Amino acid sequence: MKIAVTGARGMLGVAVTSAALAEGHHVTALDRAGAPDLAASVSSVTDDALQRVEVDLTDYPAVRGAVQGCDAVIHLAAIISPLMAPEPAVHHNNVIASYNALLAAAANGIRKVCLASSVNAVGGAYSERPHYDWFPVTEDHPSYSQDPYSLSKWIGEVQAADFARRDPNATIVSLRLHALVRDRAHLVEWKNSLPPTAPKDLWGYTALADAATACLAAVHADFVGSEVIYVVAPTTTAPRPTAELLREHYPDVPLRRDLNGENGFGGFFDCSKAGRLLGLTPQGLDDE
């Protein structure tokens, strides 16, 4: 399979590109001019397996040409926080880039598309007061976003559904990922310096390996249509049991099932859909 990966020089992009090459796929690695050199991060690369393309993802004709001849598109490029650029830039870049990736895939007859969405598509870390209707959070939870980044991710999912309706044979997966954590040392560091937004986005994270595996599973999925899927670690990053977090921060949110998990630190997101549709059970990382 020949896979186009946007944002290929980012942390997840490098992981997905490496995993795809290891599986024997060919990768067209798309990223903006001036991004770090991908070759320094990807090992065991042959010239004919990896094609590097510098492209402005808000330039539709350029994106359409760059993905021509590919069998799948994995769209990871984005401004990943509302704090990284002015509000219009965050919104417009993310919304236009995801639209262009979807349209370019459709124009080239590419029916396998994976989009990196975010748990913040329903609101969370960047909301003044996040609102949750139930726990664990499932894919059908309403969006209460209050910032340009979260809004852009929700719009990306709506766009994906639109394109799936245009082509009933297309498979488009929007993966709701959390803060990406590389390895056990990174997880320990993360736990020891939890950001003040942790209660807002429910003390979650996604192991980088789980995210990369999910991206490749998405473009190999055998269902058709557009699906939103959570891929989040099964345990929290919090040093306190989940039951205590619930009592202190969310005492009035109804529970649809027990959240304690095997060790009392069960996560707040329902990832069972990843198992049903992608054959993937997020493992997270063990920092012990």
Q: What is the pLDDT of residues 14-33, one digit of tens each?
A: 999 999 999 999 999 999 88
pLDDT digits (tens, 9 = 90+) for 132-185: 999 999 999 999 999 999 999 999 999 999 999 999 999 999 999 999 999 989
Biggest alpha carbon–alpha carbon distance for the chain: 56
Contact indicator for 204, 238 with CB cutoff of 8 Å: no
- Which residue ranges make up each domain of the chain? 2-278
Mean pLDDT confidence for 257-285: 95
Say what the pTM is: 0.95
Look up residue 264 and give its two tokens.
């009392």
Report the alpha-carbon distance of residue 253 to residue 36 in Å, rounded.
Answer: 43
Contact indicator for 241, 214 with CB cutoff of 8 Å: no
Assign domain 2-278 to a CATH class.
alpha beta
Instruction: State the pLDDT at residue 138.
Output: 98
C-alpha separations of 61 from 50, 56, 73, 105, 222 in Å: 22, 10, 16, 12, 29
Instruction: State the pLDDT at residue 39.
Output: 54
Contact indicator for 52, 21 with CB cutoff of 8 Å: no
Pairing of strands 72-75, 50-54: unpaired
Report the alpha-carbon distance of residue 240 to residue 99 in Å, rounded.
Answer: 41
Phi, psi dihedral angles at 144 (to 5 degrees): -125, 40
Cα atoms in the Cβ-side hemisphere of radius 13 Å centred on 127: 21
